Structure 1
Protein backbone atom coordinates (compact mmCIF):
# COMPACT_ATOMS: atom_id res chain seq x y z
CA UNK A 1 0.00 0.00 0.00
CA UNK A 2 2.89 2.34 0.81
CA UNK A 3 4.48 1.55 -2.56
CA UNK A 4 1.16 2.31 -4.27
CA UNK A 5 1.05 5.65 -2.50
CA UNK A 6 4.64 6.63 -3.23
CA UNK A 7 5.01 5.32 -6.78
CA UNK A 8 1.53 5.80 -8.26
CA UNK A 9 -0.74 8.12 -6.32
CA UNK A 10 1.79 10.59 -4.93
CA UNK A 11 2.98 11.85 -8.36
CA UNK A 12 -0.64 12.24 -9.45
CA UNK A 13 -1.62 14.07 -6.27
CA UNK A 14 1.37 16.41 -6.47
CA UNK A 15 0.51 17.60 -9.98
CA UNK A 16 -3.21 17.87 -9.16
CA UNK A 17 -2.38 19.79 -5.97
CA UNK A 18 -0.43 22.32 -8.03
CA UNK A 19 -3.62 22.84 -10.03
CA UNK A 20 -5.62 23.33 -6.81
CA UNK A 21 -3.17 25.96 -5.57
CA UNK A 22 -3.16 27.77 -8.91
CA UNK A 23 -6.97 27.82 -8.96
CA UNK A 24 -7.05 29.34 -5.46
CA UNK A 25 -4.52 32.06 -6.32
CA UNK A 26 -5.39 32.97 -9.90
CA UNK A 27 -8.41 33.17 -12.17
CA UNK A 28 -7.95 30.28 -14.58
CA UNK A 29 -10.32 29.47 -17.43
CA UNK A 30 -11.09 25.78 -16.95
CA UNK A 31 -12.94 25.59 -20.27
CA UNK A 32 -9.81 26.73 -22.11
CA UNK A 33 -7.70 24.09 -20.37
CA UNK A 34 -10.31 21.49 -21.31
CA UNK A 35 -10.26 22.51 -24.96
CA UNK A 36 -6.44 22.36 -25.09
CA UNK A 37 -6.50 18.93 -23.51
CA UNK A 38 -9.39 17.36 -25.43
CA UNK A 39 -8.75 18.93 -28.84
CA UNK A 40 -4.98 19.44 -28.84
CA UNK A 41 -3.09 17.00 -26.63
CA UNK A 42 -5.30 13.93 -26.13
CA UNK A 43 -5.56 13.26 -29.91
CA UNK A 44 -1.76 13.11 -30.06
CA UNK A 45 -1.73 10.69 -27.13
CA UNK A 46 -4.39 8.53 -28.77
CA UNK A 47 -2.52 8.58 -32.10
CA UNK A 48 0.77 7.54 -30.51
CA UNK A 49 -0.88 4.86 -28.38
CA UNK A 50 -2.58 3.38 -31.43
CA UNK A 51 0.62 3.40 -33.49
CA UNK A 52 2.70 1.75 -30.76
CA UNK A 53 0.09 -0.27 -28.86
CA UNK A 54 0.75 -3.88 -27.97
CA UNK A 55 -2.93 -4.42 -27.17
CA UNK A 56 -4.40 -6.95 -29.59
CA UNK A 57 -7.63 -6.12 -31.45
CA UNK A 58 -9.31 -8.99 -29.61
CA UNK A 59 -8.44 -7.58 -26.18
CA UNK A 60 -9.40 -4.09 -27.35
CA UNK A 61 -12.85 -5.25 -28.39
CA UNK A 62 -13.30 -7.12 -25.11
CA UNK A 63 -12.34 -3.96 -23.19
CA UNK A 64 -14.95 -1.97 -25.12
CA UNK A 65 -17.58 -4.65 -24.62
CA UNK A 66 -16.84 -4.97 -20.91
CA UNK A 67 -16.99 -1.22 -20.34
CA UNK A 68 -20.28 -0.87 -22.24
CA UNK A 69 -21.75 -3.79 -20.29
CA UNK A 70 -20.81 -2.12 -17.00
CA UNK A 71 -22.38 1.11 -18.23
CA UNK A 72 -25.67 -0.50 -19.26
CA UNK A 73 -26.16 -2.61 -16.13
CA UNK A 74 -24.90 0.17 -13.85
CA UNK A 75 -27.37 2.66 -15.32
CA UNK A 76 -30.29 0.24 -14.94
CA UNK A 77 -29.46 -0.64 -11.32
CA UNK A 78 -28.83 2.99 -10.40
CA UNK A 79 -32.21 3.99 -11.84
CA UNK A 80 -33.90 1.29 -9.74
CA UNK A 81 -32.07 2.25 -6.55
CA UNK A 82 -33.08 5.91 -6.86
CA UNK A 83 -36.80 5.33 -7.36
CA UNK A 84 -38.83 7.71 -5.23
CA UNK A 85 -36.59 10.70 -5.93
CA UNK A 86 -37.41 13.42 -8.46
CA UNK A 87 -36.65 12.65 -12.10
CA UNK A 88 -33.89 15.31 -12.42
CA UNK A 89 -32.14 13.89 -9.35
CA UNK A 90 -32.48 10.31 -10.59
CA UNK A 91 -31.06 11.34 -13.95
CA UNK A 92 -28.11 13.08 -12.29
CA UNK A 93 -27.31 10.20 -9.93
CA UNK A 94 -27.51 7.66 -12.74
CA UNK A 95 -25.30 9.71 -15.05
CA UNK A 96 -22.68 10.19 -12.31
CA UNK A 97 -22.75 6.48 -11.55
CA UNK A 98 -21.85 5.38 -15.07
CA UNK A 99 -19.66 8.24 -16.35
CA UNK A 100 -16.21 7.79 -14.82
CA UNK A 101 -13.14 10.00 -14.93
CA UNK A 102 -11.11 7.86 -17.33
CA UNK A 103 -9.34 10.91 -18.76
CA UNK A 104 -7.63 13.34 -16.43
CA UNK A 105 -7.51 10.80 -13.57
CA UNK A 106 -7.66 7.42 -15.28
CA UNK A 107 -4.88 7.91 -17.85
CA UNK A 108 -2.07 8.94 -15.45
CA UNK A 109 -3.05 6.32 -12.87
CA UNK A 110 -3.02 3.61 -15.56
CA UNK A 111 0.40 4.72 -16.81
CA UNK A 112 1.98 4.72 -13.36
CA UNK A 113 0.24 1.55 -12.14
CA UNK A 114 0.39 -0.63 -15.27
CA UNK A 115 3.04 0.92 -17.51
CA UNK A 116 2.80 1.78 -21.19
CA UNK A 117 0.68 -1.27 -22.04
CA UNK A 118 -1.70 -0.26 -19.28
CA UNK A 119 -1.83 3.24 -20.77
CA UNK A 120 -2.68 1.76 -24.19
CA UNK A 121 -5.59 -0.14 -22.63
CA UNK A 122 -6.63 2.98 -20.72
CA UNK A 123 -6.76 4.98 -23.98
CA UNK A 124 -9.15 2.38 -25.45
CA UNK A 125 -11.38 2.69 -22.38
CA UNK A 126 -11.07 6.49 -22.39
CA UNK A 127 -12.29 6.76 -25.98
CA UNK A 128 -15.16 4.40 -25.16
CA UNK A 129 -16.01 6.56 -22.14
CA UNK A 130 -16.13 9.62 -24.41
CA UNK A 131 -18.75 7.90 -26.55
CA UNK A 132 -20.75 7.06 -23.41
CA UNK A 133 -20.32 10.58 -22.05
CA UNK A 134 -21.59 12.36 -25.15
CA UNK A 135 -24.38 9.91 -26.02
CA UNK A 136 -25.79 8.29 -22.87
CA UNK A 137 -24.80 11.28 -20.72
CA UNK A 138 -26.93 13.89 -22.51
CA UNK A 139 -29.83 11.46 -22.74
CA UNK A 140 -29.78 10.84 -18.98
CA UNK A 141 -29.33 14.51 -18.15
CA UNK A 142 -32.25 15.72 -20.25
CA UNK A 143 -30.96 16.50 -23.73
CA UNK A 144 -33.42 16.21 -26.58
CA UNK A 145 -30.68 15.36 -29.06
CA UNK A 146 -30.65 11.65 -28.25
CA UNK A 147 -28.01 9.18 -29.28
CA UNK A 148 -27.76 10.62 -32.81
CA UNK A 149 -26.77 14.04 -31.49
CA UNK A 150 -24.22 12.51 -29.15
CA UNK A 151 -22.67 10.43 -31.91
CA UNK A 152 -22.32 13.55 -34.05
CA UNK A 153 -20.40 15.18 -31.20
CA UNK A 154 -18.08 12.16 -30.93
CA UNK A 155 -17.59 12.10 -34.70
CA UNK A 156 -16.40 15.71 -34.61
CA UNK A 157 -13.83 15.12 -31.86
CA UNK A 158 -10.18 15.21 -33.06
CA UNK A 159 -9.38 12.19 -30.87
CA UNK A 160 -11.80 10.10 -32.95
CA UNK A 161 -10.03 11.01 -36.18
CA UNK A 162 -6.63 10.52 -34.60
CA UNK A 163 -7.62 6.94 -33.80
CA UNK A 164 -9.02 6.38 -37.30
CA UNK A 165 -5.92 7.73 -39.06
CA UNK A 166 -3.52 5.87 -36.78
CA UNK A 167 -5.46 2.65 -37.26
CA UNK A 168 -5.38 2.99 -41.05
CA UNK A 169 -1.63 3.74 -41.03
CA UNK A 170 -0.92 0.78 -38.81
CA UNK A 171 -2.99 -1.61 -40.91
CA UNK A 172 -1.23 -0.35 -44.04
CA UNK A 173 2.17 -0.72 -42.38
CA UNK A 174 3.06 2.95 -42.92
CA UNK A 175 5.49 4.56 -40.50
CA UNK A 176 5.21 8.24 -39.59
CA UNK A 177 8.25 10.36 -40.54
CA UNK A 178 10.68 10.99 -37.68
CA UNK A 179 10.21 14.76 -37.40
CA UNK A 180 6.42 14.53 -37.56
CA UNK A 181 6.34 11.75 -34.98
CA UNK A 182 8.62 13.76 -32.69
CA UNK A 183 6.14 16.63 -32.76
CA UNK A 184 3.29 14.25 -31.97
CA UNK A 185 5.37 12.80 -29.12
CA UNK A 186 5.85 16.26 -27.62
CA UNK A 187 2.11 16.87 -27.65
CA UNK A 188 1.40 13.39 -26.27
CA UNK A 189 3.92 13.82 -23.45
CA UNK A 190 2.19 17.05 -22.42
CA UNK A 191 -1.27 15.45 -22.29
CA UNK A 192 -1.11 13.69 -18.93
CA UNK A 193 0.47 16.57 -16.93
CA UNK A 194 -2.11 18.99 -18.33
CA UNK A 195 -5.12 16.81 -17.61
CA UNK A 196 -3.92 16.43 -14.02
CA UNK A 197 -3.48 20.19 -13.68
CA UNK A 198 -6.96 20.60 -15.14
CA UNK A 199 -8.38 18.20 -12.55
CA UNK A 200 -6.69 20.16 -9.77
CA UNK A 201 -7.95 23.47 -11.11
CA UNK A 202 -11.49 22.13 -11.30
CA UNK A 203 -11.36 20.79 -7.74
CA UNK A 204 -9.72 23.98 -6.47
CA UNK A 205 -12.42 26.11 -8.04
CA UNK A 206 -15.30 24.02 -6.71
CA UNK A 207 -17.52 25.34 -3.98
CA UNK A 208 -18.87 23.72 -0.84
CA UNK A 209 -19.53 19.97 -0.95
CA UNK A 210 -23.18 19.14 -0.20
CA UNK A 211 -23.40 15.77 1.59
CA UNK A 212 -27.03 15.11 0.70
CA UNK A 213 -28.68 11.72 0.24
CA UNK A 214 -28.34 11.77 -3.57
CA UNK A 215 -24.68 12.80 -3.36
CA UNK A 216 -23.81 10.04 -0.87
CA UNK A 217 -25.81 7.51 -2.89
CA UNK A 218 -23.95 8.51 -6.04
CA UNK A 219 -20.55 8.12 -4.38
CA UNK A 220 -21.54 4.73 -2.94
CA UNK A 221 -22.84 3.45 -6.27
CA UNK A 222 -19.71 4.66 -8.07
CA UNK A 223 -17.36 3.23 -5.43
CA UNK A 224 -19.04 -0.13 -4.81
CA UNK A 225 -21.47 -1.06 -7.60
CA UNK A 226 -19.34 -0.12 -10.62
CA UNK A 227 -16.14 -1.95 -9.50
CA UNK A 228 -18.22 -5.04 -8.69
CA UNK A 229 -19.82 -4.89 -12.13
CA UNK A 230 -16.36 -4.37 -13.64
CA UNK A 231 -15.12 -7.66 -12.17
CA UNK A 232 -18.22 -9.51 -13.38
CA UNK A 233 -18.21 -7.94 -16.85
CA UNK A 234 -14.49 -8.60 -17.30
CA UNK A 235 -15.00 -12.30 -16.65
CA UNK A 236 -18.11 -12.46 -18.84
CA UNK A 237 -16.34 -10.94 -21.87
CA UNK A 238 -13.31 -13.16 -21.38
CA UNK A 239 -10.74 -10.66 -20.11
CA UNK A 240 -7.80 -11.71 -17.97
CA UNK A 241 -4.36 -10.42 -17.05
CA UNK A 242 -3.66 -6.85 -18.13
CA UNK A 243 -7.06 -6.44 -19.80
CA UNK A 244 -8.97 -7.39 -16.65
CA UNK A 245 -6.72 -5.20 -14.48
CA UNK A 246 -7.24 -2.26 -16.84
CA UNK A 247 -11.03 -2.60 -16.83
CA UNK A 248 -11.14 -2.92 -13.05
CA UNK A 249 -8.89 0.11 -12.63
CA UNK A 250 -11.15 2.13 -14.94
CA UNK A 251 -14.19 1.12 -12.89
CA UNK A 252 -12.80 2.52 -9.62
CA UNK A 253 -12.26 5.97 -11.11
CA UNK A 254 -14.39 8.78 -9.60
CA UNK A 255 -17.22 10.64 -11.33
CA UNK A 256 -16.06 12.42 -14.48
CA UNK A 257 -15.67 16.19 -14.11
CA UNK A 258 -17.36 16.74 -17.48
CA UNK A 259 -20.56 15.30 -16.03
CA UNK A 260 -21.02 18.62 -14.24
CA UNK A 261 -20.60 20.45 -17.56
CA UNK A 262 -23.31 18.27 -19.12
CA UNK A 263 -25.63 18.67 -16.13
CA UNK A 264 -25.30 22.44 -16.31
CA UNK A 265 -25.85 22.38 -20.08
CA UNK A 266 -29.05 20.33 -19.96
CA UNK A 267 -30.63 21.66 -16.77
CA UNK A 268 -30.14 18.60 -14.55
CA UNK A 269 -29.39 18.68 -10.81
CA UNK A 270 -25.98 20.34 -11.18
CA UNK A 271 -25.49 20.90 -7.43
CA UNK A 272 -25.71 17.15 -6.81
CA UNK A 273 -23.36 16.44 -9.70
CA UNK A 274 -20.75 19.01 -8.61
CA UNK A 275 -20.61 17.65 -5.06
CA UNK A 276 -20.53 14.05 -6.30
CA UNK A 277 -17.56 14.81 -8.57
CA UNK A 278 -15.43 16.27 -5.77
CA UNK A 279 -16.45 13.82 -3.03
CA UNK A 280 -16.01 10.74 -5.24
CA UNK A 281 -12.55 11.97 -6.27
CA UNK A 282 -11.44 12.13 -2.64
CA UNK A 283 -13.10 8.78 -1.82
CA UNK A 284 -11.39 7.05 -4.75
CA UNK A 285 -7.93 7.60 -3.24
CA UNK A 286 -8.21 5.01 -0.41
CA UNK A 287 -9.86 2.57 -2.83
CA UNK A 288 -6.93 2.93 -5.23
CA UNK A 289 -4.50 2.48 -2.35
CA UNK A 290 -6.03 -0.93 -1.70
CA UNK A 291 -6.45 -1.95 -5.35
CA UNK A 292 -3.13 -0.92 -6.91
CA UNK A 293 -0.95 -3.39 -4.92
CA UNK A 294 -3.21 -6.19 -6.18
CA UNK A 295 -2.98 -5.26 -9.86
CA UNK A 296 0.35 -7.08 -10.49
CA UNK A 297 -1.25 -10.29 -9.21
CA UNK A 298 -4.18 -9.84 -11.60
CA UNK A 299 -1.80 -9.16 -14.48
CA UNK A 300 0.17 -12.27 -13.52
Structure 2
Protein backbone atom coordinates (compact mmCIF):
# COMPACT_ATOMS: atom_id res chain seq x y z
CA UNK A 1 0.00 0.00 0.00
CA UNK A 2 2.86 2.39 0.79
CA UNK A 3 4.32 1.81 -2.68
CA UNK A 4 0.96 2.54 -4.31
CA UNK A 5 0.41 5.72 -2.29
CA UNK A 6 3.99 6.82 -2.96
CA UNK A 7 3.36 6.45 -6.68
CA UNK A 8 -0.03 8.14 -6.93
CA UNK A 9 -0.17 10.80 -4.19
CA UNK A 10 2.85 12.88 -5.33
CA UNK A 11 1.40 12.99 -8.85
CA UNK A 12 -2.03 13.92 -7.53
CA UNK A 13 -0.58 16.68 -5.35
CA UNK A 14 1.23 18.34 -8.27
CA UNK A 15 -1.89 18.08 -10.46
CA UNK A 16 -3.92 19.74 -7.66
CA UNK A 17 -1.34 22.54 -7.47
CA UNK A 18 -1.70 22.98 -11.25
CA UNK A 19 -5.50 22.96 -10.88
CA UNK A 20 -5.37 25.73 -8.26
CA UNK A 21 -2.87 27.68 -10.34
CA UNK A 22 -5.18 27.41 -13.35
CA UNK A 23 -8.00 28.95 -11.34
CA UNK A 24 -6.13 31.56 -9.31
CA UNK A 25 -3.15 32.66 -11.41
CA UNK A 26 -3.06 34.34 -14.78
CA UNK A 27 -0.58 31.90 -16.32
CA UNK A 28 -0.15 31.52 -20.06
CA UNK A 29 -0.90 27.86 -20.58
CA UNK A 30 0.07 28.03 -24.24
CA UNK A 31 3.60 29.16 -23.35
CA UNK A 32 3.93 26.40 -20.75
CA UNK A 33 2.79 23.82 -23.30
CA UNK A 34 5.35 25.06 -25.82
CA UNK A 35 8.05 24.96 -23.13
CA UNK A 36 7.11 21.37 -22.34
CA UNK A 37 6.76 20.13 -25.93
CA UNK A 38 9.74 21.85 -27.52
CA UNK A 39 12.31 21.96 -24.69
CA UNK A 40 11.59 19.88 -21.58
CA UNK A 41 10.08 16.72 -23.11
CA UNK A 42 12.87 16.43 -25.73
CA UNK A 43 15.42 16.97 -22.94
CA UNK A 44 14.11 14.11 -20.79
CA UNK A 45 13.99 11.82 -23.83
CA UNK A 46 17.52 12.70 -24.95
CA UNK A 47 18.93 12.46 -21.42
CA UNK A 48 17.24 9.12 -20.69
CA UNK A 49 18.40 7.58 -23.96
CA UNK A 50 21.90 8.99 -23.37
CA UNK A 51 22.10 7.25 -19.99
CA UNK A 52 19.85 4.33 -20.91
CA UNK A 53 21.02 0.87 -19.96
CA UNK A 54 17.94 -0.98 -21.21
CA UNK A 55 18.94 -3.90 -23.41
CA UNK A 56 18.28 -3.75 -27.14
CA UNK A 57 16.01 -6.77 -26.80
CA UNK A 58 13.80 -4.97 -24.26
CA UNK A 59 13.62 -1.85 -26.43
CA UNK A 60 12.54 -3.84 -29.48
CA UNK A 61 10.01 -5.95 -27.55
CA UNK A 62 8.45 -2.93 -25.78
CA UNK A 63 7.94 -1.05 -29.06
CA UNK A 64 6.75 -4.22 -30.83
CA UNK A 65 4.32 -4.94 -28.00
CA UNK A 66 2.94 -1.40 -28.15
CA UNK A 67 2.35 -1.80 -31.89
CA UNK A 68 0.59 -5.15 -31.41
CA UNK A 69 -1.57 -3.73 -28.60
CA UNK A 70 -2.63 -0.90 -30.92
CA UNK A 71 -3.50 -3.37 -33.70
CA UNK A 72 -5.57 -5.55 -31.37
CA UNK A 73 -7.44 -2.56 -29.92
CA UNK A 74 -8.00 -1.15 -33.40
CA UNK A 75 -9.43 -4.47 -34.60
CA UNK A 76 -11.75 -4.84 -31.59
CA UNK A 77 -13.05 -1.28 -31.93
CA UNK A 78 -13.58 -1.68 -35.69
CA UNK A 79 -15.57 -4.91 -35.10
CA UNK A 80 -17.82 -3.38 -32.44
CA UNK A 81 -18.31 -0.21 -34.48
CA UNK A 82 -19.30 -2.30 -37.50
CA UNK A 83 -21.76 -4.43 -35.51
CA UNK A 84 -23.31 -1.42 -33.76
CA UNK A 85 -23.23 0.70 -36.96
CA UNK A 86 -21.37 3.59 -35.34
CA UNK A 87 -21.05 6.60 -37.65
CA UNK A 88 -17.65 7.70 -39.00
CA UNK A 89 -17.01 10.68 -36.69
CA UNK A 90 -17.83 8.73 -33.54
CA UNK A 91 -15.84 5.71 -34.73
CA UNK A 92 -12.78 7.88 -35.33
CA UNK A 93 -13.15 9.43 -31.89
CA UNK A 94 -13.37 6.01 -30.22
CA UNK A 95 -10.18 4.95 -32.02
CA UNK A 96 -8.42 8.07 -30.78
CA UNK A 97 -9.41 7.91 -27.10
CA UNK A 98 -8.64 4.19 -26.68
CA UNK A 99 -5.41 4.05 -28.70
CA UNK A 100 -3.64 7.06 -27.17
CA UNK A 101 -2.65 6.81 -23.48
CA UNK A 102 -1.32 9.79 -21.56
CA UNK A 103 2.06 8.17 -21.01
CA UNK A 104 3.90 11.50 -20.95
CA UNK A 105 2.22 13.89 -18.51
CA UNK A 106 1.02 11.07 -16.23
CA UNK A 107 2.81 7.94 -17.38
CA UNK A 108 6.39 9.09 -16.79
CA UNK A 109 5.94 10.44 -13.25
CA UNK A 110 3.70 7.59 -12.06
CA UNK A 111 6.07 4.98 -13.50
CA UNK A 112 9.01 6.79 -11.89
CA UNK A 113 7.39 6.86 -8.46
CA UNK A 114 6.15 3.26 -8.77
CA UNK A 115 9.07 1.51 -10.50
CA UNK A 116 12.05 3.84 -10.12
CA UNK A 117 14.64 4.92 -12.67
CA UNK A 118 14.64 1.53 -14.40
CA UNK A 119 10.92 1.91 -14.95
CA UNK A 120 11.37 5.47 -16.25
CA UNK A 121 13.91 4.33 -18.85
CA UNK A 122 11.43 1.79 -20.21
CA UNK A 123 8.48 4.19 -19.94
CA UNK A 124 10.32 6.64 -22.21
CA UNK A 125 10.85 3.88 -24.79
CA UNK A 126 7.10 3.23 -24.68
CA UNK A 127 6.37 6.98 -24.94
CA UNK A 128 8.56 7.31 -28.02
CA UNK A 129 6.63 4.54 -29.77
CA UNK A 130 3.27 6.03 -28.81
CA UNK A 131 4.39 9.56 -29.83
CA UNK A 132 5.32 8.32 -33.30
CA UNK A 133 1.89 6.71 -33.51
CA UNK A 134 0.04 9.77 -32.15
CA UNK A 135 1.65 12.28 -34.50
CA UNK A 136 2.48 10.01 -37.43
CA UNK A 137 -0.23 7.36 -37.78
CA UNK A 138 -3.30 8.67 -35.96
CA UNK A 139 -3.89 11.41 -38.58
CA UNK A 140 -4.05 8.67 -41.22
CA UNK A 141 -6.70 6.85 -39.16
CA UNK A 142 -8.72 10.01 -38.58
CA UNK A 143 -8.53 11.30 -42.15
CA UNK A 144 -7.78 9.78 -45.53
CA UNK A 145 -5.71 12.86 -46.37
CA UNK A 146 -3.75 12.84 -43.14
CA UNK A 147 -0.77 10.58 -43.95
CA UNK A 148 1.47 13.27 -45.45
CA UNK A 149 0.57 15.79 -42.76
CA UNK A 150 1.21 13.20 -40.08
CA UNK A 151 4.68 12.39 -41.42
CA UNK A 152 5.59 16.08 -41.71
CA UNK A 153 4.35 16.78 -38.19
CA UNK A 154 6.34 13.83 -36.83
CA UNK A 155 9.55 15.01 -38.49
CA UNK A 156 9.05 18.52 -37.11
CA UNK A 157 8.79 17.30 -33.54
CA UNK A 158 11.91 18.00 -31.44
CA UNK A 159 10.98 14.81 -29.57
CA UNK A 160 11.92 12.68 -32.58
CA UNK A 161 15.28 14.39 -33.10
CA UNK A 162 15.98 14.28 -29.36
CA UNK A 163 15.43 10.54 -29.57
CA UNK A 164 17.96 10.28 -32.43
CA UNK A 165 20.47 12.50 -30.60
CA UNK A 166 20.22 10.57 -27.32
CA UNK A 167 20.44 7.19 -29.07
CA UNK A 168 23.51 8.27 -31.05
CA UNK A 169 25.28 9.42 -27.88
CA UNK A 170 24.41 6.14 -26.18
CA UNK A 171 25.55 3.92 -29.06
CA UNK A 172 28.77 5.87 -29.69
CA UNK A 173 29.68 6.02 -26.01
CA UNK A 174 30.53 9.72 -26.29
CA UNK A 175 30.63 11.60 -22.97
CA UNK A 176 29.50 15.22 -23.20
CA UNK A 177 32.25 17.64 -22.11
CA UNK A 178 32.11 20.54 -19.63
CA UNK A 179 29.29 18.88 -17.66
CA UNK A 180 26.84 19.56 -20.50
CA UNK A 181 25.15 16.27 -19.73
CA UNK A 182 24.17 17.73 -16.36
CA UNK A 183 22.36 20.61 -18.11
CA UNK A 184 20.38 18.15 -20.17
CA UNK A 185 19.62 16.13 -17.04
CA UNK A 186 18.33 19.18 -15.15
CA UNK A 187 16.04 20.15 -18.04
CA UNK A 188 14.73 16.58 -18.16
CA UNK A 189 14.04 16.50 -14.41
CA UNK A 190 11.91 19.66 -14.69
CA UNK A 191 9.79 18.12 -17.48
CA UNK A 192 7.75 15.92 -15.15
CA UNK A 193 6.43 18.53 -12.64
CA UNK A 194 5.79 21.07 -15.41
CA UNK A 195 3.78 18.49 -17.39
CA UNK A 196 1.67 17.68 -14.32
CA UNK A 197 1.03 21.35 -13.59
CA UNK A 198 -0.13 21.83 -17.20
CA UNK A 199 -2.47 18.85 -16.84
CA UNK A 200 -3.95 20.35 -13.65
CA UNK A 201 -4.45 23.69 -15.42
CA UNK A 202 -6.20 21.95 -18.32
CA UNK A 203 -8.55 20.17 -15.91
CA UNK A 204 -9.32 23.50 -14.20
CA UNK A 205 -10.41 24.99 -17.53
CA UNK A 206 -12.57 22.02 -18.60
CA UNK A 207 -16.21 21.37 -17.79
CA UNK A 208 -16.85 17.98 -16.18
CA UNK A 209 -20.05 16.30 -17.40
CA UNK A 210 -20.61 12.65 -16.48
CA UNK A 211 -22.25 10.70 -19.32
CA UNK A 212 -22.71 6.95 -19.77
CA UNK A 213 -21.07 6.70 -23.19
CA UNK A 214 -17.89 8.51 -22.19
CA UNK A 215 -17.76 6.56 -18.89
CA UNK A 216 -17.82 3.28 -20.82
CA UNK A 217 -15.07 4.53 -23.13
CA UNK A 218 -13.00 5.60 -20.12
CA UNK A 219 -13.43 2.19 -18.49
CA UNK A 220 -12.39 0.49 -21.73
CA UNK A 221 -9.27 2.66 -21.82
CA UNK A 222 -8.39 2.13 -18.16
CA UNK A 223 -9.32 -1.55 -17.72
CA UNK A 224 -9.66 -3.39 -21.04
CA UNK A 225 -6.54 -1.87 -22.68
CA UNK A 226 -4.13 -2.94 -19.88
CA UNK A 227 -5.64 -6.45 -19.91
CA UNK A 228 -4.83 -6.63 -23.62
CA UNK A 229 -1.33 -5.38 -22.76
CA UNK A 230 -0.85 -8.28 -20.34
CA UNK A 231 -1.75 -10.82 -23.03
CA UNK A 232 0.37 -9.18 -25.73
CA UNK A 233 3.34 -8.69 -23.40
CA UNK A 234 3.38 -12.34 -22.40
CA UNK A 235 3.00 -13.39 -26.02
CA UNK A 236 6.05 -11.35 -27.08
CA UNK A 237 8.13 -12.68 -24.18
CA UNK A 238 8.23 -9.60 -21.93
CA UNK A 239 8.65 -10.26 -18.24
CA UNK A 240 9.61 -8.52 -15.02
CA UNK A 241 9.89 -4.75 -15.10
CA UNK A 242 9.52 -4.67 -18.92
CA UNK A 243 6.05 -6.20 -18.66
CA UNK A 244 5.15 -4.05 -15.64
CA UNK A 245 5.95 -0.85 -17.54
CA UNK A 246 4.06 -2.02 -20.64
CA UNK A 247 0.89 -2.68 -18.61
CA UNK A 248 1.16 0.45 -16.46
CA UNK A 249 1.75 2.77 -19.41
CA UNK A 250 -1.15 1.22 -21.33
CA UNK A 251 -3.40 1.77 -18.28
CA UNK A 252 -2.96 5.55 -18.41
CA UNK A 253 -5.97 7.78 -19.24
CA UNK A 254 -6.49 9.28 -22.69
CA UNK A 255 -3.78 11.71 -23.81
CA UNK A 256 -4.69 15.39 -23.93
CA UNK A 257 -3.02 15.75 -27.36
CA UNK A 258 -5.66 13.40 -28.75
CA UNK A 259 -8.12 16.28 -28.81
CA UNK A 260 -5.69 18.33 -30.91
CA UNK A 261 -5.45 15.50 -33.45
CA UNK A 262 -9.22 15.02 -33.63
CA UNK A 263 -9.86 18.73 -34.14
CA UNK A 264 -7.26 18.82 -36.91
CA UNK A 265 -8.06 15.62 -38.81
CA UNK A 266 -11.67 14.73 -37.97
CA UNK A 267 -13.84 13.16 -35.30
CA UNK A 268 -16.22 14.11 -32.50
CA UNK A 269 -14.35 16.61 -30.34
CA UNK A 270 -16.99 16.58 -27.60
CA UNK A 271 -16.66 12.84 -27.03
CA UNK A 272 -12.88 13.09 -26.95
CA UNK A 273 -12.78 16.05 -24.55
CA UNK A 274 -15.24 14.45 -22.12
CA UNK A 275 -13.43 11.10 -22.22
CA UNK A 276 -10.10 12.78 -21.48
CA UNK A 277 -11.55 14.42 -18.36
CA UNK A 278 -13.50 11.37 -17.16
CA UNK A 279 -10.65 8.91 -17.76
CA UNK A 280 -8.18 11.20 -15.99
CA UNK A 281 -10.41 11.46 -12.92
CA UNK A 282 -11.20 7.72 -12.92
CA UNK A 283 -7.52 6.85 -13.28
CA UNK A 284 -6.87 7.89 -9.69
CA UNK A 285 -9.04 4.92 -8.73
CA UNK A 286 -7.87 2.41 -11.36
CA UNK A 287 -4.13 3.14 -11.41
CA UNK A 288 -3.55 2.21 -7.74
CA UNK A 289 -5.28 -1.12 -8.50
CA UNK A 290 -3.08 -1.68 -11.55
CA UNK A 291 0.07 -0.85 -9.57
CA UNK A 292 -1.01 -3.26 -6.82
CA UNK A 293 -1.67 -6.03 -9.36
CA UNK A 294 1.64 -5.69 -11.19
What band does the TM-score fall into relative to the shorter chain? over 0.9
Q: Aligned with 2:151: secondary structure?
A: helix
Q: State the TM-score, normalizing by the size of structure 2.
A: 0.94
Residue 212 of structure 1, CA deviation:
4.3
Point out the more displaced range, 113-122 or 164-173: 164-173
Q: CA 1:3/1:274 → structure 2, altered by over 3 Å: closer, same or farther? A: same
Residue 177 of structure 1, CA deviation:
1.5
Say whether the 8 Å CA contact 1:110–1:246 is kept in structure 2. yes
Say whether the 8 Å CA contact 1:93–1:218 is kept in structure 2. yes
- Tell me whether 1:57 sits opposite 2:56 in the alignment: yes
Residue 231 of structure 1, CA deviation:
0.4
Q: CA 1:28/1:207 → structure 2, altered by over 3 Å: closer, same or farther? A: farther
The corresponding residue for 2:207 is 207
- Tell me whether 1:168 sits opposite 2:168 in the alignment: yes
Residue 210 of structure 1, CA deviation:
4.6
Q: CA 1:101/1:143 → structure 2, altered by over 3 Å: closer, same or farther? A: farther
The corresponding residue for 1:111 is 112
Say whether the 8 Å CA contact 2:63–2:129 is kept in structure 1. yes
Residue 85 of structure 1, CA deviation:
2.2
The corresponding residue for 2:90 is 89
- Structure 2, unmatched stretches of 5+, are none
Residue 150 of structure 1, CA deviation:
1.6
Say whether the 8 Å CA contact 2:210–2:278 is kept in structure 1. no
The corresponding residue for 1:129 is 130
The correspondence of residues 131-150 of structure 1 with structure 2, limited to 5 A, is 131-142=132-143, 144-146=145-147, 148-150=148-150
How many Å separate the matches in 1 of 2:167 and 2:80? 41
The correspondence of residues 179-194 of structure 1 with structure 2, limited to 5 A, is 179-194=179-194
Q: State the TM-score, normalizing by the size of structure 1.
A: 0.92
Residue 208 of structure 1, CA deviation:
3.2
The correspondence of residues 1-300 of structure 1 with structure 2, limited to 5 A, is 1-5=1-5, 7-82=6-81, 83-142=84-143, 144-146=145-147, 148-213=148-213, 215-295=214-294
Say whether the 8 Å CA contact 1:210–1:272 is kept in structure 2. no
Q: CA 1:283/1:208 → structure 2, altered by over 3 Å: closer, same or farther? A: closer
Residue 262 of structure 1, CA deviation:
1.4
Residue 151 of structure 1, CA deviation:
2.5
Aligned residues: 292
Residue 179 of structure 1, CA deviation:
2.6
Residue 38 of structure 1, CA deviation:
1.4
Q: CA 1:260/1:130 → structure 2, altered by over 3 Å: closer, same or farther? A: same
- Structure 1, unmatched stretches of 5+, are 296-300
RMSD of aligned residue pairs (Cα, Å)? 1.6
Residue 178 of structure 1, CA deviation:
3.8
Residue 102 of structure 1, CA deviation:
0.6
Residue 9 of structure 1, CA deviation:
0.6
How many Å separate the matches in 2 of 1:27 and 1:132? 34
Residue 162 of structure 1, CA deviation:
1.5
